[in-house]
Structure 1
Amino acid sequence: MALLPSPYNRLLIPIYLPSLLMAVAHQAMFLLLPLYALELSGSAAFAALVMGLRGFGVLFFDVPAGVLVSRLGNRLVLISGLTIISIVMLLLAVVSAEWLIALLVIPLGAAHAAWFLGWLSHITVSCSPNERGRATSVIAGIQRFGAFAGPLAGGFIAQEFGYSTAFFIGGGIAALAALLSFLYTNNINSSKTPNTNHYKTIVNIFQSNKKIFSTAGSVALIFQFMRSVRQLLLPLFGVMVGLDAAKIGLIYALSAAVDMSLFYPVGIAMDRWGRKWTGLPSILFFIIGFIVLPLSQGFYSLLVAGILLGLANGLSVGLVQIIGMDLSPPGVRGEFLGVWRLISDSGWAIGPLLAGLMVDLASLSLASFSTAGLGLAGGLVFLLMVPETLSIARKRSKNKSE
């Protein structure tokens, strides 16, 4: 570890290794959950509902997770999230009732919120503004490797051995990640004021940051909306053009490979020149990808759309989290990041549900074209109304040091 440059040397074992294991298991779920729900019910709308309920679980627990991070510290919240993810995956392996599947994905989402706030708080406190892009982009790169390896392995295992086997293996991997976090992750963000009225703190954060949340927050929401709809529509379009789980998993994995290849240079660019330098091109490629997606006719044309969307996702690697870190005020970082996650994760929850409604009432194509239009609106807000947050964070850090 001593040979690694900062901040990687501080984060390798306590954050990066557990995140690598967790990413493989959890990212596989993004492919397997809608396909499993579709197989059980025969309804694309039910598959969208399942993904939307998982997003609701994330949304529901974002702010409580931020409060718990401030009160209990990042370590306990992070480990608890990983443990619950493992338990839910193991339960998914043994149940087949549609209502149980829909019920279980809610705590799966809530546990993801806890895990996410745990590592996000750890990096925010332990890294300077000039390190956050690189530190967070590695986490995002790890998640993208998980999005490459997870769906590829998950699709193969589900095709050859069944969905239950895939869920069992995913649960075991997540359990190993929880064990590593228990052994090696330190508690660096425990609250020094446990009697703080966190409800009043949350209300004050909303009131004092209205402009930030209405501009930068709306851009974060739209980014997450596009990402969640991408994860839903790509496999569903694969089914529509007649591909099996293994071929859909291959497209998903190749898209993730493009995505994953960008995390290191994007992190450097964001730390050196600013967050907008990669965020704005990302939105442009999202728009193009969602326009191309409904034009797919088979494996290769769907692969083109998947690669475009992977490029879009890679150019904004860690962007939403980094902007939240830049804007988070000292003293109430946990609560602010919880609120920030609540706003951005609204996109995860709303995306699949709204897309599913459009699929049910109209078509997959309408859902894709509408998402492209929303991306255009978000790009204009980002370009014209959101200041460069790296400059804000650098100024705040300089004032603190003085």
Structure 2
Amino acid sequence: MTDAMSDFRWRSIALPALLPTALFSIGEGAILPVIPALATDLGATLAVAGFIAAMLTLGELFGDIPSGWIVSRIGERTAMLYATLVAIAGLVTSVLAPHPLVLAVGILLLGLATAVFALARHAFMTSFVPISHRARALSTLGGTFRFGLLVGPFIAALVLNLTGDTGAPLWIGVVCCVATGIVLLTLPDPESTFGVTAASRARAASEPLREGEKLVRDEAVGLFATLVAYRSVLLRLGTGSSIVAALRASRQVILPLWGVSIGLDEAHTATIIGIAGGIDFALFYTGGQIMDRFGRLFTAVPSLIGLGVGHIGLAFTHDLASREVWFVVVAVFLSLSNGIGAGVLMTLGADLAPPGRPAPFLGAWRFCNDAGGAAAPLLIAGLTAAFSLPIAAAAIGGLAFVGVGALLRYLPRYSPHR
């Protein structure tokens, strides 16, 4: 891509590239605060409710297995369309669930869809954004997801106050998925809008394969073969990044569980999480600027330290008389810590991915991260069942500092575009 295109034609692709992501994430953000409440309404214990909430990240982990192959096979826009259909199926299943296990299946389907949807957009950004703007672009993509996690809970709180129906936010998710599909079908495909770039021509010159041949080759590289091929870098950087993902996933599960545990109703919990999401969203571009200017280390490590401290702090507030106030304070602090690291995992994946065919590697990278993201909620559920929710929070917080050590050991200290 030429210097004259250093803004990577952002204005021409911003709407078709980011609007579907925003709509999809609003639907997901609307249901996240109410998953534990939905489970307890069906008779689940607090530990089982945590397990059901973990189905979202577990579904993302399973979805990472075929996601690189799917995107390489049918293209990113078509993959996103199919993902919205699977998400609708999962949401409708959750609405009609007569038993906690059926609810778990519905949430698992939503996680599968989220994995394919996110990988498709990640692959597009990796292929078409120049490295000098990569962190800001991927932080913007991360910020778009955070926008959904900001707006979704507020919409859910409003609907809950109007209807009093805990399952009503699931219909918000259905509406958002339908809107996502309409946008994908009506707006131009950003890849075709972008046209042939200098970067893609350079890749074609160094690797003279027709597009169809490239897709066939990508199909042949399955997730587990890719994991083996890149095992060295995935073991080193993947360890720290998977712990970052674990703390992020824990935050999304433990805050709604904490609201149930201290007796807050669903609407208040959703409102608090929405307010915290505003802090998270406000910082996404700042994190990208720091990464592009100083390197990835300068957001990854502070973000992970903050997430660890927030979880440990939460563990000491459960039985205080002012626990509701502390819940708000810690939720905001966790969002502040998470927001400064917006886009860092996607940026690291894009840095490491082969430029000619990023989807298979990104599928493996996301699989490693989502393995951490899936493990954390399951660990919370297990520790809550065996001990208590505060002990689970403290254990997850302590894990953060293991990740900090891995990042300090292996993450580069320089800005990659220099």
- Write the letter of the residue equivalent to 2:137: A
CA distance in 2, matches of 1:12, 1:200: 31
Correspondence for 1:184: 187
Correspondence for 2:146: 144
Equivalent in 152, 164, 167 of residue 164 of structure 1: 167
Correspondence for 1:329: 354
CA distance in 2, matches of 1:46, 1:302: 22
CA distance in 2, matches of 1:389, 1:198: 34
CA distance in 1, matches of 2:40, 2:24: 25
Could you tell me which runs of 5 or more consecutive residues in structure 1 were left unpaired when the two chains were aligned.
Answer: 396-402
CA distance in 2, matches of 1:245, 1:58: 25
Greater CA deviation, 153-162 or 21-30? Answer: 153-162
Indicate if the aligned counterparts of 1:228 and 1:352 stay in contact, CA closer than 8 A.
Answer: yes
Displacement after TM superposition at 1:11 (Å): 2.9
Indicate if the aligned counterparts of 1:286 and 1:312 stay in contact, CA closer than 8 A.
Answer: yes
Q: Does 1:228 pair with 2:246?
A: no
User: Judging changes above 3 Å, is the alpha-carbon distance between structure 1 residues 101 and 201 closer, same or farther for their aligned structure 2 residues?
Assistant: closer
How many residues end up aligned between the 2 structures?
390
Correspondence for 1:387: 412
Correspondence for 1:155: 157
Q: Could you list the per-position Cα deviations for residues 108-149 of structure 1 after superposition, in whole angstroms to 9, with x for gaps in the alignment?
A: 111111101110011111101112211111122122221122
- Write the letter of the residue equivalent to 1:209: Y
Q: Secondary structure at the match of 1:317?
A: coil
Q: Secondary structure at the match of 1:163?
A: coil
Correspondence for 1:215: 236
User: Judging changes above 3 Å, is the alpha-carbon distance between structure 1 residues 384 and 244 closer, same or farther for their aligned structure 2 residues?
Assistant: same
User: Judging changes above 3 Å, is the alpha-carbon distance between structure 1 residues 203 and 350 closer, same or farther for their aligned structure 2 residues?
Assistant: closer
CA distance in 2, matches of 1:382, 1:194: 34
Correspondence for 2:296: 275
Correspondence for 1:61: 63
* Superposition RMSD in Å: 2.1
Q: Could you list the per-position Cα deviations for residues 155-199 of structure 1 after superposition, in whole angstroms to 9, with x for gaps in the alignment?
A: 332344113322112201111011101222527496543433745
What pairs with 1:18-167 in structure 2 (closer than 5 Å)? Answer: 18-161=20-163, 162-167=165-170
Q: Secondary structure at the match of 2:217?
A: coil
CA distance in 1, matches of 2:188, 2:41: 39
Q: Secondary structure at the match of 2:214?
A: coil
Q: Secondary structure at the match of 1:96?
A: coil
Greater CA deviation, 149-158 or 18-27? Answer: 149-158
Correspondence for 2:391: 366
Indicate if the aligned counterparts of 2:84 and 2:113 stay in contact, CA closer than 8 A.
Answer: yes
Displacement after TM superposition at 1:72 (Å): 1.9
CA distance in 1, matches of 2:159, 2:48: 23
Indicate if the aligned counterparts of 1:73 and 1:191 stay in contact, CA closer than 8 A.
Answer: no
Between the aligned residues of both structures, percent identity stands at 26
CA distance in 2, matches of 1:57, 1:384: 31
Q: Secondary structure at the match of 1:18?
A: helix
CA distance in 2, matches of 1:117, 1:225: 18
What pairs with 1:299-338 in structure 2 (closer than 5 Å)? Answer: 299-338=324-363
Q: Could you list the per-position Cα deviations for residues 8-50 of structure 1 after superposition, in whole angstroms to 9, with x for gaps in the alignment?
A: 3143221211111111111122212122112222411111221
Displacement after TM superposition at 1:7 (Å): 4.9
User: Judging changes above 3 Å, is the alpha-carbon distance between structure 1 residues 247 and 385 closer, same or farther for their aligned structure 2 residues?
Assistant: same
Correspondence for 1:253: 274
Greater CA deviation, 10-19 or 210-219? Answer: 10-19
TM-score, reference length from structure 1: 0.91
CA distance in 2, matches of 1:320, 1:29: 24
Correspondence for 2:287: 266
CA distance in 2, matches of 1:191, 1:30: 39
Indicate if the aligned counterparts of 1:280 and 1:383 stay in contact, CA closer than 8 A.
Answer: yes
Indicate if the aligned counterparts of 2:247 and 2:304 stay in contact, CA closer than 8 A.
Answer: no
Q: Could you list the per-position Cα deviations for residues 235-276 of structure 1 after superposition, in whole angstroms to 9, with x for gaps in the alignment?
A: 222222221112211221121111111011111111122111
Q: Does 1:290 pair with 2:315?
A: no
- Write the letter of the residue equivalent to 2:63: F
User: Judging changes above 3 Å, is the alpha-carbon distance between structure 1 residues 28 and 195 closer, same or farther for their aligned structure 2 residues?
Assistant: same
CA distance in 2, matches of 1:191, 1:350: 37
Could you tell me which runs of 5 or more consecutive residues in structure 2 were left unpaired when the two chains were aligned.
Answer: 1-5, 193-210
CA distance in 1, matches of 2:187, 2:314: 43
User: Judging changes above 3 Å, is the alpha-carbon distance between structure 1 residues 44 and 159 closer, same or farther for their aligned structure 2 residues?
Assistant: farther
CA distance in 1, matches of 2:359, 2:79: 12
CA distance in 2, matches of 1:54, 1:389: 35
CA distance in 2, matches of 1:175, 1:51: 23
Indicate if the aligned counterparts of 1:78 and 1:117 stay in contact, CA closer than 8 A.
Answer: no
